[in-house]
């Protein structure tokens, strides 16, 4: 009994007090009908949305003043878990007093932030972020119904991270503006990939057409080509030693050696690797890597394989390189 209580308690602590309160005492749960709309001279909107990934569903009720397009009242009914109830409750409450166009701009991240006890602590565990995504989706359904248009005309089909509602262009812009070279860097600047993490690479609970790793690789390649065209990359001419290179040039120099001398060896054994970060620790340059595939569980990843990678980079790039797996 004590052990089960401990497990339940630990899980429960991952939810904010606001989420727990709304799970048990939602303030906007209920229904609105045509009689309610007639009393205030408003238009009744009833929209449904269901999440295939978990089977949860939500119904959203709006009373909209058609003269000002303002949402006078908003209620919901949720068929799902406690997190879905709390997220839907916050979503319905946030809609009240906004115009329909303003309501469409209520993102799922705004719902989640509204449910936090403090701004730095997530309101729900990452795997439950999809519940606030569902709250956003039902707003789109309601707005499309009110406007008499298809939902597709209101939503951005270029969304890569559903949890943070970030588009491919959002990610590309962040990579360029902040010279990002890692997935962790993208998450820090945009929040993309920091919740359920399905958008990072294949293998998550939701299949994507494009992943953050693809966008990062494509954008870095494009940036490198642009630098070459501008004459910024002087690595091949020998005019730029490793200590004088920019972070982009260093990554390119290391990637070139890895692709030619290291990656083929790893792939043959069903593995791979990726560069996570490069940090100066003078006189050393610490290269942080992550093993992928079979390499992730291979014992030699911290012995023979690591020695081979580091030795190759020392010989081909710079003798002060150290390789650190994470």
C-alpha 322: how far from chain center? 31
Strand partners, 62: 45, 74
Q: How far is CA 258 from CA 17, 132, 224, 261, 317, in A?
A: 48, 41, 17, 5, 10
131 catalytically annotated:
yes
Rg of the Cα trace of the chain? 25
Q: Identify the active-site residue in 81, 95, 131, 163.
A: 131
CA–CA distance, 270 with 291 (Å, rounded to integer): 11
298 catalytically annotated:
no
Kindly list the catalytic residues: 54, 131
């Amino acid at each position: 009994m004590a052990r089960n209580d401990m497990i339940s308690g630990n899980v429960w602590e991952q939810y904010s007090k606001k989420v727990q309160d709304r799970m048990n005492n939602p303030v906007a749960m209920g229904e609105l009908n045509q009689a309610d709309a007639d009393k205030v001279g408003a238009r009744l909107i009833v929209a449904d949305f269901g999440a295939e990934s978990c089977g949860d569903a939500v119904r959203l009720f709006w009373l909209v003043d058609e003269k000002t397009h303002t949402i006078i009242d908003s209620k919901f009914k949720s068929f799902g878990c406690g997190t879905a109830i709390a997220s839907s409750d916050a979503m319905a409450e946030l809609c009240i007093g906004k115009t329909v166009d303003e309501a469409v701009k209520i993102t799922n991240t705004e719902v989640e932030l509204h449910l936090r006890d403090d701004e730095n602590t997530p309101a729900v565990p990452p795997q439950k972020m999809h519940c606030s995504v569902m709250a956003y989706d039902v707003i789109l359904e309601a707005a499309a119904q009110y406007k008499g248009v298809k939902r597709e005309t209101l939503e951005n089909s270029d969304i890569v991270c559903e949890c943070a509602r970030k588009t491919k262009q959002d990610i590309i812009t962040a990579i360029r503006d902040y010279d990002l070279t890692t997935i962790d860097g993208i998450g820090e600047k945009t929040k993309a990939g920091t919740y359920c993490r399905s958008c990072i690479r294949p293998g998550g609970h939701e299949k994507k057409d494009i992943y953050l790793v693809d966008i990062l690789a494509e954008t870095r390649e494009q940036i490198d080509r642009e630098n070459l065209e501008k004459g910024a990359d002087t690595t091949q001419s020998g005019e730029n030693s490793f200590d004088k290179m920019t972070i982009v040039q260093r990554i390119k120099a290391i990637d070139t050696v890895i692709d030619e001398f290291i990656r083929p060896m790893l792939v043959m054994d069903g593995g791979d690797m990726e560069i996570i970060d490069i940090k100066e620790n003078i006189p050393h340059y610490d290269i942080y890597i992550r093993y992928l595939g079979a390499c992730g569980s291979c014992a030699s990843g911290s012995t023979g394989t690591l020695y081979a990678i580091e030795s190759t980079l020392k010989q081909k790039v710079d003798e002060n390189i150290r390789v650190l797996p994470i």
